[in-house]
Structure 1
Amino acid sequence: MRSRLGLSGLHWSVVMPVLAALVLALTWGRSLSAALVALAGLLLGGAVLSAVHHAEVIAHRVGEPFGSLVLAVAVTVIEVALIVTLMADGGDKSSSLARDTVFAAVMITCNGIVGLSLLVGALRRRVAVFNAEGTAAAFGTVATLAGLSLVLPTFTTSTPGPQFSPPQLVFAALAALILYGLFVATQTVRHRDYFLPVTAEGVVIDTDDHADPPSPRTALTSVGLLAVALIAVVGLAKGVSPAIESAVAAAGLPASVVGVVIALLVLLPETIAALRAARRDRVQTSLNLGLGSAMASIGLTIPAVAAASVWLEGPLLLGLGATHMVLLALTLVVGTLTVIPGRATPLQGGVHLSLLAAYIVLAVSP
């Protein structure tokens, strides 16, 4: 492992995030030509693969479920910083940015990542097996956070429009932080075994049987390179977003499609890591990544934008419209029926993916 990550190795996972960060620094705040957009796109893909590699190194060192938590929180923290920055630059035009981004993350993680993981796991072993207790706890927390933060603002009457009044926003932010903190404590301390992979017989797998854990020095190197790679992923996604906006406008598509594309790019590291885990019969790890990312997206974004709304201009629109509430309700009902048995067939994976497809189709054609 040292030869792969050490200075003498110059492994691709070391070179790609450094190159991506360098190009990001040189192009930040500039209008990119077609050639630079293509280069940024290639480096963005390389940075995504590098982030997945280093996240797996860290996960192997710290073990599950800490490994899944590292990638989910790291991506979300940088994503939150990007959202707040864009809201500060966008004024009234970005009043719904936090809502649109969080909802896109919920749909992509709870239907895309979860659906793909179940499909891959079930096709490999006929039935995808996971720990129903831990997965149900995670999904219930996601459902509560989504309901409190994205549904209630549509029905409150203290403030016109789908937004909270200041006291309501403070409550939503505190509730999100407390619930997320409580879940992390449950996942990593009190009931850690609920979030570990299980065999078809229901036996918890508490060890990684592939290789010896990396050294502390290698793990620390991966922590630094993971941070660089994730910053590069989010920064380059922001850099190519004007080109995406132009392409979307030229195709006559709604502006909301841009948010979907950006969310897909930002969530690529978790998606690839989840698929790799599912292929190794670690479906529980895949579900930890997907549901953990959804939870972190709500639990960290809502408090951050609530704090930023003190100095940001314009309203903060958080409430979903009727179409998106229907999709969220279907996701929660189907997800509940999926996690209760603790095992799933390819059908369940296909159902979740169909909900993601419906979300994307309705984003393109509202």
Structure 2
Amino acid sequence: MATSNTLPAWTVWAPLAAWVAFGVGIMLPGQGWMIAVMAVALAGAVFSAVHHAEVVAHKVGEPFGTLVLAIAVTVIEVALIVSVMLSSGPEKAGLARDTVFAAVMIICNGMVGLCLFVGGLHHREQAFQAPGATAAMATLVALLVLTMVLPNFTSSTPGPVLTSSQLAFSGAMSLILYGAFVFVQTIRHRDYFLVEGSSNEDDHAPPPPARVAAASGVLLVVCLVAVVALAKMLSPSVEAAVLNAGLPGAVVGVVIAALVLLPEGLAAMRAARLDRLQTSMNLALGSALASIGLTIPTVAAVFITLGRPLELGLGPKEMVLLFLTMIVSSLTLGSGRTTILQGVVHLVIFAAYLFLTIVP
């Protein structure tokens, strides 16, 4: 990203507007026009949060930059999931599973597919570091199978629910795997995740001044809290809209995942268009890993404490789509070079996921 000595005005006003909308929403509950205003304010806060995360990321450098962005987006996702689940009854026991699965499908097929498609259109063939991508995929496959497939085959309780001890173990495994990946990405094998041979001005732009980075850090926190507050107020309206449209409950998870991943998806697509596919892969795979590695432990801890059931196991149709995604992603990322064809394949799988979610 190009650096600047000042923050764009909209990134300062967006979180403030979100808090104003939240206050007015409390005073005028149930108003249709106010729900629309809060939805716009929520979107503005999300985009502002990701912008501030990018500023902080540019200050600390790669690969810490994409890590900051992934964690910021995951904090938003976790907050949305927990707020919706706590405000609902047992019927939302599978929302975390639906949202995490939706995030994985959106990232590994939608985001990656668009990046490869756009990059292939502009540059015919693109390259990235295969060792880093395959390491991320190995970690991602282990996380997905251990947290979202294995619960269907345990015998202490009927799947897809785990016992409290199994749930605690699943959360601990997720943290260990994600922590090991972050250690490899940022310390032990950092060079696996760095852009090689790029001459793009965005890669060599000087980092923002310390005061700008510090201001972005503060505003990032303000944005994240505003997103949580607005999401909690809007969640009943989102659920009601899904039910009134006659859509399955899993669509709520897709909406939440798409909302928090949209800005990051746009950033990844922009990087691919500028022939920085390594940055796109860092963003995409880092987000998928953070989505599972941080969401599952957090949700597990909350629900163990509250003594409420938590469904993690996927259904048969979702497992088929997951295994297809993992196989194709491993083939796509194994060579370190991609063309438009891989992008089309991933986008077709993503279209199948969306269609089968709406028409199960």
Query: When the two structures are superposed, what TM-score results if normalisation uses the length of structure 1?
Result: 0.91
Q: CA deviation at 1:313?
A: 4.2
Q: Which moved more, 1:302-311 or 1:353-362?
A: 302-311
SS in 2 for 1:4: coil
Q: Match of 1:60?
A: 58
1:149-180 residue CA offsets vs partner (Å, 9 max, x unmatched): 00000111111231223332222111111110
Rounded to whole Å, the distance in 1 between the matches of 2:42 and 2:102 is 20
Out of 76, 80, 97, the position equivalent to 1:99 is 97
Alignment of 1:307-346 (within 5 A): 307-346=301-340
Rounded to whole Å, the distance in 1 between the matches of 2:46 and 2:266 is 9
Is 1:287 paired with 2:281?
yes
Q: Give unpaired runs (5+ residues) of structure 1.
A: none
Rounded to whole Å, the distance in 2 between the matches of 1:205 and 1:188 is 23
Q: Match of 1:4?
A: 6
Quickly say closer, same or farther: Cα 1:190–1:175, change in 2 above 3 A.
same
Q: CA deviation at 1:3?
A: 5.4
Q: CA deviation at 1:245?
A: 2.6
Q: CA deviation at 1:183?
A: 0.4
Rounded to whole Å, the distance in 2 between the matches of 1:206 and 1:125 is 14
8 Å CA contact 2:80–2:256 kept in 1: the answer is no
Quickly say closer, same or farther: Cα 1:227–1:272, change in 2 above 3 A.
farther
8 Å CA contact 2:6–2:212 kept in 1: the answer is no
Rounded to whole Å, the distance in 2 between the matches of 1:253 and 1:114 is 26
Give the aligned CA root-mean-square deviation in angstroms: 2.2
Quickly say closer, same or farther: Cα 1:59–1:231, change in 2 above 3 A.
same
The percent of aligned pairs where both chains have the same amino acid is 56
Output the amino acid matched with 2:317: T
Q: Which moved more, 1:287-296 or 1:180-189?
A: 287-296
Q: Match of 1:365?
A: 359
Q: Match of 1:304?
A: 298
SS in 2 for 1:186: helix
Output the amino acid matched with 1:317: E
Q: Match of 1:261?
A: 255
Q: Which moved more, 1:20-29 or 1:278-287?
A: 20-29
8 Å CA contact 1:237–1:262 kept in 2: the answer is no
Q: Match of 2:136?
A: 138
Q: Match of 1:157?
A: 155
Rounded to whole Å, the distance in 2 between the matches of 1:207 and 1:3 is 17
Q: Match of 1:148?
A: 146
Q: Match of 2:173?
A: 175
* Number of aligned residue pairs: 358
Q: CA deviation at 1:278?
A: 1.7
Rounded to whole Å, the distance in 2 between the matches of 1:216 and 1:281 is 29
Quickly say closer, same or farther: Cα 1:306–1:38, change in 2 above 3 A.
closer
Q: CA deviation at 1:42?
A: 2.4
Quickly say closer, same or farther: Cα 1:140–1:205, change in 2 above 3 A.
farther
Q: CA deviation at 1:344?
A: 0.8
8 Å CA contact 2:243–2:249 kept in 1: the answer is yes
Q: CA deviation at 1:55?
A: 2.6
Q: Match of 2:73?
A: 75
Rounded to whole Å, the distance in 1 between the matches of 2:154 and 2:209 is 53
8 Å CA contact 1:21–1:228 kept in 2: the answer is no
Output the amino acid matched with 2:50: V
Out of 348, 355, 358, the position equivalent to 1:354 is 348
Q: Match of 1:212?
A: 206
Q: Match of 1:193?
A: 191
Q: Match of 2:126?
A: 128
Rounded to whole Å, the distance in 1 between the matches of 2:274 and 2:56 is 17
Alignment of 1:230-269 (within 5 A): 230-269=224-263
Quickly say closer, same or farther: Cα 1:233–1:81, change in 2 above 3 A.
closer
Output the amino acid matched with 1:263: A
Output the amino acid matched with 1:349: G
